[in-house]
Structure 1
Amino acid sequence: MANNPAAPDATRLALRSLCVDNLRCLQDLPPASLEPSLTILTGPNGSGKTSFIDALSMLLEGSSPSEEARSSSDRNITVTGEFSSADENKCIKVRATYSAGRVQREVLRLVHPDFGSPPESMTIQALREAFASAGVESPGGASKAPFVEAAMEWISQRPLAELQEAWVSLPPETAAQLPRLTVFRSQDAADQPGQVRRLVSREAQRLLTTEAYAPRLDEIAAEVQEGIDPVLDSIKAMIGRYCPGIDDVSITTSFDFSRINPQVQMRLTRDTGESIDLNEAGSGLTQRVGLAIYAATLATLQGEGVEVVGTLLAYDEPDTHLDYQAQRELFEIIHEQGSLPHVQVVVATHSVNLIDTVTLQSLRHFRLENQRTRVDNPSDYGDSEEAVFIDDLVSGLGMRNSVLLSEKCFLVVEGPTEERALPILFKKMIGETLPSAGITLVNTDGVGSVRRLVEVLIRQLNRSVVVLVDGDARHSPGRINDTWLSEMRLVEGTNGFFVGAKEFEDAFDDEVWLRVAREWFPLDDGSSWQSSDFSNARVDEHGMGQALENLFSRRLRSRVSKPQIGEALARTVTDDEIPEAIRKAVSAASDISKKYYLSAEKCCGPE
């Protein structure tokens, strides 16, 4: 019979997570979740993004990887996916195992020991024997369908205690409910006919599962079956002749006409009549043709009836060799594709144009840890409200996703004075700028936000962090105490620092502030700054930072902001006048950055 079942909309399944073992640097990779619409894979070269897309092909298409793709030659490559329907009423696990040069796909099912396999995958003789073993009367006749229906009905009435989970061969009916995969790889940019071939193949496969074609294919399959029955009879007879002791031989055949491999030729002709060989065309034209094919993919996904079958589009660095404008157009198409209810899109990319235009929850950051891929998943939050809060927090601080996922170290502070002062102090101490050192300085404008941001950076994104907060942060409402530092794997004096008795500003001596005032904020009313001005500000009930802002603004009769004060302080102070906590925090951030370079993630061969 033909294996061309149509998947009804109610049973259409989407991929929710993927775990992989023994595929290049994807070794014992825990389940990595996929978003319902758009998932972006980021990370350095060699971190496993391409291997992840290869794993999708292995699971959804049964594609065989090369033998060289095994991490360990003595173990199989295994890919396991969790799928669910849109209403989550149906959830299944499907596994693909590569062994001995072939891929076997299985589904985790509840089976009865007397049957051992799903009834639909058993022969009539095996079903008869299973019924006899269970002590149940089997249907008569030579048609398999009544046997399967009776077996399914009997199993459905068994107590759960009698059933057991087992990996069984993936039935065609279940395979038809899985999303159809189309992969676009970076090397496809120069192979437009190949792109068209994949698009045509996917659309042809979809058409052949519809009611307009499936019955006709079944008829053709039946006719072909009649034609090969004599061949099968001959094989069975010869096995009986050459294999003494064999009493019966059963050979079951099936045909899958949905596997389409069309041949495609493309020819372009200019309005002048000039024929164009795409292999000889310039990059500008090939980019435009490629974008047109991506747009055509979107158009076919928006057609009538296509939502019956789920689709997963996987792009492996599609932005390679595209100019800025072409990247933007491509990403607009990708966003539109992901917005369709029956489409999932997975994109492996380095493009900040795409990374910075999606929510943090859409990103999966791949990194190597002891030559094994680990995936940092920002979407692993307790609930959707928490996810939205974190996304708003990060965007409110002006932090781009690309920075969050790629910067070497984050130096987190809680006020505008230190935000302006620290870049200058860092340059004085280390001799280079924060950006050139790969360090991002973040001012959260409050100790409570320090906690929330650091928790995201460390727990969700596995980033390196140095925290420099005011001394009174230990006792503030969003306090930063030893317990919290320990939870964040921060150690006071190593990567967690408190500066000043109360605030950053009071860590500097009155004489330093006196020089700052005389050099940067001279008075024009005939008076002069005195050291007592700053000793008085030091004991102000509102804190020295606010007291200095008020003092300078009042005496100069114009607004003086904390950032202005921070810059003046940093440009005035000498190296030996920089407080120890600040010196250690700056050195800690610099050391982390240097270690990042020294232990740069090494490629484990192809991704």
Structure 2
Amino acid sequence: MHLEKYSVRGFRSLADVSEIPISSPTILAGPNDGGKTTALDALAFLLGEYPLTDDDRAYGGGETGSRCSLTEVIGDFRLDSWERETFDLPAELRVRRSVDAELAPRYEMWAPVPDDEELRDLSSKSVQELKELLTQFEVRPEKPTKPYLLAALRAYAKDHSNEAGWVGVPSGLTTRLPQLAVFEGRSLEPEAAIKSLLSLRLKDYVAQDAVQERVRELETDVQEWLKIEAKPLADHIVERCGDIASVDIDPSVSLTPQLRSTPLRLERSSGESVRLDRSGLGSSRRISIAVWETTSDFLLDQPKDTEETEEHEPPLQVIVVYDEPDTHLDYHFQREVMRLIRQQSAADRVNVVVATHSMNLIDGVDIHDVVLLRLDDDRRTVMERLGSGTHADFDRHLGIMAAAVGLRNSVLLHERCFLAVEGESEQLAIPILFNLSEDLSPQAAGVALWACGNNEGALHLARYLFKHGRSVLLMVDADSESTNKMFRTDRLKATFDNRDEEVVVMLGKEHGHRELEELFSDELWARTANTVWPRDHDWTPEDFKALRDGKFSADVLEMLREHSEDAPRGKPAMMLGLAAQLDKPEEVPKALRDVFRRLRELAG
């Protein structure tokens, strides 16, 4: 089973995060407490490696302060030919692991649901119950053993199913789940890295045919012994319950070897014995890297894909997880970690997931494999997938990404032109408007868009870039001149060495507009409102024209909130909704088109 992506619902801050990709590698980026480690724990839960507790269940039940009714992690898997043949399943399968308030985890798959409820949870039934169902539905198995009983009933259930839903997974399918190897960068104990490595080797050893045969023999012996031990109990039940003719207790035993611990003792070349926690964080990290170099050798030595047969199970997918691996490492060892990640990602049947906010690591991968996790206003994690969708979306996500992790020196050195703007409204809308006007994204034109929180922040960034000889344009609302003395003409001339007219754009000033929102016509606002924020009767241009004398953006937002159930939550969402409704270049206000042309000239 090869995991391609997974979705999480009701797990801590991950109320509803869909389709986190499993790439080579996937980078989970974003600010602290944004949900990166939670996403990794959810992945471990899906693969059976994380014991979920009540504290992991997200809040969001029917009552205030109550937990959600269901916590689930859903994986989209690709099955190899051996798995398809063995379990009679399609090439693509959706599997989920979930818990409710009882905290009893269960695996289910999305598949046809048998019409008869008695056929929907066959794995939990005893041999006697399976035989009774076979008799009831007049089904004949090839052999009287439990695997053949299950196979016959599943085939019958599949032929008598009309709808799809969550049903139990076939026995043995979960043993084909990917193996998980975790590098915990924040841990001070390299023993954790050693344990992850040796756990992989142990699973690889146990998966050998000869070892499996010995384990199955031992399980059979234990089951037969337990069956004998249970016979007096079954007889006593029959004796005490006169209405019961017979009782059959059929124990099922699974002996799964587990690695308990891997103590690490060090002695320096000088003969001195040193406690690891007294040798410095850097030493601990370097030892961990040495362990993971060995892990890379092991992964790269894995057999390549071959033609699967019924006699030999193909090797399992391995997902290597790094949680902030650059913590406590200097720049040299950060590059070593990136080298390890690249090396492991190149191995067959191996995927790597890295949670980090280090631009050194983020810069080292294809931007399509970067996922931004951040908290929204309700303290719930939302996901931004970089490199997806249109060029405008690409640039918008890139701007959000950069804001989360900080402005990089590499950006300052290589971008051709910068556009400094006030806030999120411009950050969301400008890429869409630029793309519509110029028929390419700002990034493709060599323009880096930076939202700076407010007009002063934009001014500070523009001044910094200007003094360092970079091409920059500062675009702020025209009302900045009257509301902030830093934007008075004399101050701007002093800031930009009398070249303020080349650098600063007071948006809308030429036509008497005070802010970005005023540039768009009343007709366009009305058309957008009827499409995106409808009310019980149509909006008209006059509704918006009546607000032109006040603070237009604030008054429009208040009006939408008062009359529409679908009103935007804030000005940024309002501007994004408006920009997304434009479909012709001429609908972009001329003041903005003039700015975009200037940017093209600067970038060129």
Sort the Cα spacing of 1:141 and 1:365 in 2 relative to 1 into closer, same or farther, 3 A.
Answer: closer
Using the TM superposition, give the Cα deviation of residue 360 of structure 1 relative to its aligned residue in structure 2, in angstroms: 1.4
Pair 1:104-2:93 in alignment = no
Distance 1:30 1:400 in 2: 21
Task: Report the RMSD for the aligned CA atoms in angstroms.
Answer: 4.8
Task: Kindly indicate whether the alpha-carbon contact (under 8 Å) linking 1:80 and 1:94 is maintained by their aligned counterparts in 2.
Answer: yes
Other-structure match for 2:181: 182
Other-structure match for 1:260: 258
Task: Kindly indicate whether the alpha-carbon contact (under 8 Å) linking 2:11 and 2:56 is maintained by their aligned counterparts in 1.
Answer: yes
SS of the aligned residue for 1:347 comes to strand
Q: What letter corresponds to residue 183 of structure 1 in structure 2? A: V
Q: Deviations over 1:497-528 (max 9, x none)?
A: 9xxxxxxxxxxxxxx9xxxxxx9xxxxxxxxx
Distance 1:361 1:80 in 2: 22
Using the TM superposition, give the Cα deviation of residue 35 of structure 1 relative to its aligned residue in structure 2, in angstroms: 3.7
Using the TM superposition, give the Cα deviation of residue 349 of structure 1 relative to its aligned residue in structure 2, in angstroms: 0.6
Using the TM superposition, give the Cα deviation of residue 238 of structure 1 relative to its aligned residue in structure 2, in angstroms: 4.5
Other-structure match for 2:119: 116
Using the TM superposition, give the Cα deviation of residue 407 of structure 1 relative to its aligned residue in structure 2, in angstroms: 6.4
Using the TM superposition, give the Cα deviation of residue 455 of structure 1 relative to its aligned residue in structure 2, in angstroms: 10
Q: How is 1:105-184 mapped onto 2 (pairs within 5 angstroms)? A: 105-114=107-116, 116-117=119-120, 122-134=125-137, 136-139=138-141, 142-155=144-157, 158=159, 162-184=161-183
Using the TM superposition, give the Cα deviation of residue 329 of structure 1 relative to its aligned residue in structure 2, in angstroms: 0.5
Other-structure match for 1:292: 290
Q: What letter corresponds to residue 226 of structure 1 in structure 2? A: E
SS of the aligned residue for 1:187 comes to coil
Which of 352, 372, 375 does residue 380 from structure 2 map onto? 372
Other-structure match for 2:48: 61
Using the TM superposition, give the Cα deviation of residue 242 of structure 1 relative to its aligned residue in structure 2, in angstroms: 6.0
Using the TM superposition, give the Cα deviation of residue 278 of structure 1 relative to its aligned residue in structure 2, in angstroms: 1.6
Distance 1:106 1:576 in 2: 58
Distance 2:244 2:444 in 1: 66
Task: Kindly indicate whether the alpha-carbon contact (under 8 Å) linking 1:67 and 1:101 is maintained by their aligned counterparts in 2.
Answer: yes
Q: How is 1:207-222 mapped onto 2 (pairs within 5 angstroms)? A: 207-222=205-220
Pair 1:329-2:323 in alignment = no
SS of the aligned residue for 1:212 comes to helix
Using the TM superposition, give the Cα deviation of residue 452 of structure 1 relative to its aligned residue in structure 2, in angstroms: 3.9
Q: Deviations over 1:61-100 (max 9, x none)?
A: 1632221222232523222211124799611111112231
Identity percentage of aligned residues: 24
Other-structure match for 1:312: 319
Other-structure match for 1:470: none
Which of 61, 69, 81 does residue 75 from structure 1 map onto? 69
Farther off after superposition, 354-363 or 222-231 = 222-231
SS of the aligned residue for 1:453 comes to coil
Pair 1:18-2:6 in alignment = yes
Other-structure match for 1:272: 270
Which of 569, 573, 591 does residue 499 from structure 2 map onto? 569
Task: Kindly indicate whether the alpha-carbon contact (under 8 Å) linking 1:111 and 1:118 is maintained by their aligned counterparts in 2.
Answer: no
Distance 2:68 2:214 in 1: 45
Other-structure match for 1:561: none
Task: Kindly indicate whether the alpha-carbon contact (under 8 Å) linking 1:184 and 1:314 is maintained by their aligned counterparts in 2.
Answer: yes
Q: What letter corresponds to residue 98 of structure 1 in structure 2? A: V
Farther off after superposition, 308-317 or 165-174 = 165-174
Distance 2:253 2:320 in 1: 26
SS of the aligned residue for 2:14 comes to coil
Task: Kindly indicate whether the alpha-carbon contact (under 8 Å) linking 1:62 and 1:103 is maintained by their aligned counterparts in 2.
Answer: no
Pair 1:341-2:343 in alignment = no
Using the TM superposition, give the Cα deviation of residue 14 of structure 1 relative to its aligned residue in structure 2, in angstroms: 2.0
Sort the Cα spacing of 1:133 and 1:240 in 2 relative to 1 into closer, same or farther, 3 A.
Answer: closer
Other-structure match for 2:189: 191
Task: Kindly indicate whether the alpha-carbon contact (under 8 Å) linking 1:201 and 1:262 is maintained by their aligned counterparts in 2.
Answer: no
Q: Deviations over 1:234-257 (max 9, x none)?
A: 443454456665555444433333
TM-score normalised by structure 1 residue count = 0.62
Sort the Cα spacing of 1:333 and 1:400 in 2 relative to 1 into closer, same or farther, 3 A.
Answer: farther
TM-score normalised by structure 2 residue count = 0.62
Distance 2:215 2:111 in 1: 29
Task: Kindly indicate whether the alpha-carbon contact (under 8 Å) linking 1:390 and 1:456 is maintained by their aligned counterparts in 2.
Answer: no
Q: What letter corresponds to residue 383 of structure 2 in structure 1? A: V
Task: Kindly indicate whether the alpha-carbon contact (under 8 Å) linking 1:64 and 1:101 is maintained by their aligned counterparts in 2.
Answer: no
Using the TM superposition, give the Cα deviation of residue 201 of structure 1 relative to its aligned residue in structure 2, in angstroms: 1.6
Q: What letter corresponds to residue 11 of structure 2 in structure 1? A: L
Distance 2:321 2:173 in 1: 21
Using the TM superposition, give the Cα deviation of residue 341 of structure 1 relative to its aligned residue in structure 2, in angstroms: 3.0
Task: Kindly indicate whether the alpha-carbon contact (under 8 Å) linking 1:48 and 1:366 is maintained by their aligned counterparts in 2.
Answer: yes
Q: Deviations over 1:315-372 (max 9, x none)?
A: 2212222221111101211122122230121111111101122111111111222222
Q: Deviations over 1:432-490 (max 9, x none)?
A: xx99xx999x999x876855436999xxx998999xxxxxxxxxxxxxxxxxxxxxxxx
Other-structure match for 1:6: none
Farther off after superposition, 101-110 or 34-43 = 101-110
SS of the aligned residue for 1:371 comes to coil
Pair 1:49-2:49 in alignment = no
SS of the aligned residue for 2:181 comes to strand
Task: Kindly indicate whether the alpha-carbon contact (under 8 Å) linking 1:25 and 1:71 is maintained by their aligned counterparts in 2.
Answer: yes
Task: Kindly indicate whether the alpha-carbon contact (under 8 Å) linking 1:317 and 1:349 is maintained by their aligned counterparts in 2.
Answer: yes
Task: Kindly indicate whether the alpha-carbon contact (under 8 Å) linking 1:111 and 1:165 is maintained by their aligned counterparts in 2.
Answer: yes
Farther off after superposition, 98-107 or 311-320 = 98-107
Distance 1:303 1:144 in 2: 37
Greater RCO, CA 8 A, separation 6+: 1
Other-structure match for 1:93: 94
Sort the Cα spacing of 1:449 and 1:126 in 2 relative to 1 into closer, same or farther, 3 A.
Answer: farther
Task: Kindly indicate whether the alpha-carbon contact (under 8 Å) linking 2:112 and 2:162 is maintained by their aligned counterparts in 1.
Answer: yes
Task: Kindly indicate whether the alpha-carbon contact (under 8 Å) linking 2:477 and 2:516 is maintained by their aligned counterparts in 1.
Answer: no
Distance 1:122 1:171 in 2: 12
Can you give the 5+ residue segments of structure 2 that lack an aligned partner in the other structure? 60-66, 85-89, 306-314, 408-414, 455-474, 479-488, 519-552, 554-569, 572-604
Q: What letter corresponds to residue 78 of structure 2 in structure 1? A: S
SS of the aligned residue for 1:40 comes to strand
Task: Kindly indicate whether the alpha-carbon contact (under 8 Å) linking 1:204 and 1:258 is maintained by their aligned counterparts in 2.
Answer: no
Sort the Cα spacing of 1:575 and 1:39 in 2 relative to 1 into closer, same or farther, 3 A.
Answer: closer
Task: Kindly indicate whether the alpha-carbon contact (under 8 Å) linking 1:268 and 1:276 is maintained by their aligned counterparts in 2.
Answer: yes
Distance 1:339 1:140 in 2: 44
Task: Kindly indicate whether the alpha-carbon contact (under 8 Å) linking 1:352 and 1:402 is maintained by their aligned counterparts in 2.
Answer: no
Q: Deviations over 1:184-223 (max 9, x none)?
A: 32333x1112221222122212221221311111111112
SS of the aligned residue for 1:183 comes to strand
Distance 2:181 2:193 in 1: 10
Q: What letter corresponds to residue 453 of structure 1 in structure 2? A: S
SS of the aligned residue for 1:65 comes to coil
Q: What letter corresponds to residue 499 of structure 2 in structure 1? A: L
Other-structure match for 2:539: none
Using the TM superposition, give the Cα deviation of residue 152 of structure 1 relative to its aligned residue in structure 2, in angstroms: 4.5
Sort the Cα spacing of 1:267 and 1:339 in 2 relative to 1 into closer, same or farther, 3 A.
Answer: same
SS of the aligned residue for 1:129 comes to helix
Distance 1:576 1:390 in 2: 26
Distance 2:25 2:360 in 1: 15
Other-structure match for 2:225: 227
Task: Kindly indicate whether the alpha-carbon contact (under 8 Å) linking 1:356 and 1:401 is maintained by their aligned counterparts in 2.
Answer: no
Which of 26, 30, 34 does residue 39 from structure 1 map onto? 26
Sort the Cα spacing of 1:570 and 1:373 in 2 relative to 1 into closer, same or farther, 3 A.
Answer: same
SS of the aligned residue for 1:284 comes to helix
Other-structure match for 2:441: 453
Q: How is 1:541-580 mapped onto 2 (pairs within 5 angstroms)? A: 569-570=499-500, 579-580=509-510
Task: Kindly indicate whether the alpha-carbon contact (under 8 Å) linking 1:41 and 1:363 is maintained by their aligned counterparts in 2.
Answer: yes
Q: What letter corresponds to residue 18 of structure 1 in structure 2? A: Y
